[in-house]
């Protein structure tokens, strides 16, 4: 098992073209002051003083890729509503090429977080699955976009936008693309044939069961990787770091020791960074080490955040 550290250097990321496909969300944050308990129920009263909106879900993956200097495109579905328009505006402001589909039958997915005293007090989710017609159109456009991109990220949040994920993987791999998948759910067979899957511990346990030793984990992870015909399986392990399983090696890197402020969106940063590095020609080990470093930086920020190229390679 290899653990040799690498020297961080900035690769030529501006030539990498990453297409992100998946569940697009709008993350809204309401910040306020908490000074009393409600007389109506034993809950804090948050007096809202500031509001922010950020790209979430697959859109946050694209935002992270663009922040590193890669050319990022986003294919997803939003509602024909004010929130969908705001997503489009945020994409434009972040330099992300939008291929968003507007679905008249649904509302844009929104995650509203109420923050008081720098702590998340409450999260409210608004979501509906997209309609079949829009999903079919999305699959057709995906296939037309493939020649323009060299790395594909399929960001699955189990909100209904990736029901055609098996077709997408097959089409992209047939054209020689690197296909990275952030998986969800109890059935990983639909991701078969991808280049790499990036589950966290909880997601992997739902598929292969628990493990009691590193040896048992390695056996289960390698069996799953072989069964799904993956080039690699990257297990993100929170405070335990990350472990990459390939046919030739097992590569583990401990977590980058930093103060953890907020883990939301950290997985988006990891997969976007790894995609950018692989697209630039980095080895598996170098891509994982750089992604781990990016994840360590982003958890020190509030909410869905990004890591810049300068932060990643000059600190």
Show which residues are catalytic: 268
What CA–CA distances, in Å, run from 35 to 43, 44, 117?
11, 8, 10
Which of 149, 10, 12 lies closest to 75 in space, CA to CA?
149
Report how far residue 143's alpha carbon sits from residue 262's, in angstroms, rounded to the nearest whole number: 36
Nearest to residue 62, comparing CAs of 107, 109, 97? 97
Sequence-ordered strand ranges (E) for the chain: 17-22, 24-37, 44-57, 71-75, 77-79, 97-98, 101-103, 109-116, 119-126, 151-155, 178-182, 196-197, 232-236, 242-246, 250-253
Decide: helix, strand or coil at residue 121. strand
């Amino acid at each position: 098992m290899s653990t040799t550290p690498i020297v961080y250097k900035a690769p030529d990321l501006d030539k990498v073209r990453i297409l992100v496909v998946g569940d697009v969300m709008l993350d809204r944050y309401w910040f306020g002051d908490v000074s009393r308990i409600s007389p109506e129920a034993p809950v804090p009263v948050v007096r809202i003083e500031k509001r922010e909106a950020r790209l979430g879900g697959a859109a946050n993956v694209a935002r992270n890729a663009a922040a590193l200097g890669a050319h990022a495109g986003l294919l997803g579905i939003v509602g024909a509503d004010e929130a969908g328009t705001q997503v489009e505006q945020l994409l434009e402001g972040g330099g992300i090429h939008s291929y968003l589909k507007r679905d008249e039958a649904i509302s844009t997915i929104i995650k509203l977080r109420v923050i008081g005293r720098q702590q998340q007090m409450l999260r409210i989710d608004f979501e509906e699955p997209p309609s079949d017609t829009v999903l079919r159109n999305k699959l057709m456009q995906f296939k037309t976009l493939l020649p323009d991109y060299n790395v594909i990220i399929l960001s699955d949040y189990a909100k209904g936008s990736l029901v055609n994920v098996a077709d997408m993987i097959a089409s992209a791999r047939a054209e020689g693309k690197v296909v990275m998948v952030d998986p969800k759910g109890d059935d990983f067979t639909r991701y078969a044939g991808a280049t790499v899957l990036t589950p966290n511990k909880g997601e992997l346990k739902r598929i292969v069961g628990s493990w009691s030793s590193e040896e048992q984990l390695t056996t289960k992870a390698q069996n799953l990787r072989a069964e799904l015909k993956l080039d690699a399986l990257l297990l993100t392990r929170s405070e335990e770091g990350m472990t990459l399983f390939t046919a030739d090696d097992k590569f583990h890197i401990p977590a980058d020791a930093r103060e953890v402020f907020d883990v939301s969106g950290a997985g988006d940063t990891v997969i976007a960074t790894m995609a950018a590095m692989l697209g630039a020609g980095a080895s598996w080990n170098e891509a994982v080490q750089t992604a781990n470093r990016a994840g360590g930086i982003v958890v020190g920020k509030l909410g869905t955040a990004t890591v810049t190229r300068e932060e990643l390679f000059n600190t």
